[in-house]
C-alpha cells in the first residue's frame, strides 16, 4: 500500500472517530433518557432538528408522539433528528408512554423544567424546528391531526434546503 493511500486511510479513520465521538454526546434512540443538563443543540450539528417538549399527562402529546416517531423513521436517513424532552415529575409514566408510542426518538428528561424555562414554553406540546446550521426556523404550540401534513411539508422543506 502506498504512503499516500495509508495517510488517506488514517484520515478517514480519524474523521469517522470524530463523528462517532460526537454522536455519543447524545442519547441513541430507544436509550434511557438523559437529563436536560446534557442537552446541547450543537450535538446535532449538520442535522435538521425538531425539539419537542411533552408530558405523559398531555392529551395532544398522545397525538403528536406517534407522528414524530413516523417522521423520524421517514426522514432520519435524510438528516432529520427528532428530540423529545419530557417534563414529567415521575419518569416511570413518561418512559412507558415513550416506549409504546415513540420508541425511535432520542429523549431527555426535564422534570425541573430547566429547558422548558429556557424555551419559555407557553403550552404543551411545544416544538421547535432548527435547520442544519442550528437556526430556529419554526415553532408550534399544541398539536392537531389537521396539522400533520403542513408540518411534514415544513420538515421536508427544511431537509431540502441546500447549505450555504
Cα separation, 139 vs 61, whole angstroms: 15
Catalytic residue among 26, 49, 58, 65: 58
Contact (CB, 8 A) for 25 and 106: no
Say which residues have a Cβ less than 8 Å from residue 105's Cβ, sequence separation at least 6: 29, 65, 68, 69, 72, 82, 83, 84, 98
Catalytic residue among 61, 65, 84, 101: 61
Clarify whether 58 is annotated catalytic: yes
Half-sphere exposure in the Cβ direction for 153 (13 Å, CA): 5
Catalytic: 33? no
Cell, residue 61? 402529546
Question: Do 25 and 40 contact (CB within 8 A), yes or no?
Answer: yes
DSSP 110: -
Catalytic residues: 58, 61
Amino acid at each position: 500500500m502506498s504512503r499516500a493511500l495509508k495517510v488517506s486511510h488514517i484520515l478517514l479513520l480519524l474523521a469517522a472517530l470524530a463523528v462517532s465521538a460526537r454522536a455519543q454526546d447524545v442519547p441513541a434512540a430507544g436509550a434511557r433518557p438523559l437529563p436536560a443538563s446534557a442537552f446541547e443543540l450543537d450535538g446535532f450539528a449538520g442535522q435538521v432538528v425538531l425539539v419537542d417538549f411533552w408530558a405523559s399527562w398531555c392529551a395532544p402529546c398522545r397525538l403528536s408522539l406517534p407522528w414524530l416517531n413516523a417522521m423520524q423513521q421517514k426522514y432520519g436517513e435524510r438528516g432529520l433528528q427528532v428530540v423529545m424532552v419530557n417534563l414529567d415529575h415521575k419518569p416511570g409514566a413518561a418512559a412507558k408512554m415513550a416506549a409504546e408510542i415513540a420508541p425511535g426518538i432520542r429523549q431527555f428528561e426535564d422534570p425541573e423544567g430547566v429547558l422548558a424555562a429556557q424555551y419559555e414554553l407557553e403550552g404543551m406540546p411545544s416544538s421547535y424546528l432548527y435547520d442544519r446550521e442550528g437556526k430556529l426556523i419554526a415553532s408550534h404550540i399544541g398539536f392537531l391531526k389537521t396539522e400533520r401534513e403542513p408540518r411534514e411539508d415544513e420538515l421536508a422543506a427544511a431537509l431540502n434546503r441546500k447549505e450555504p
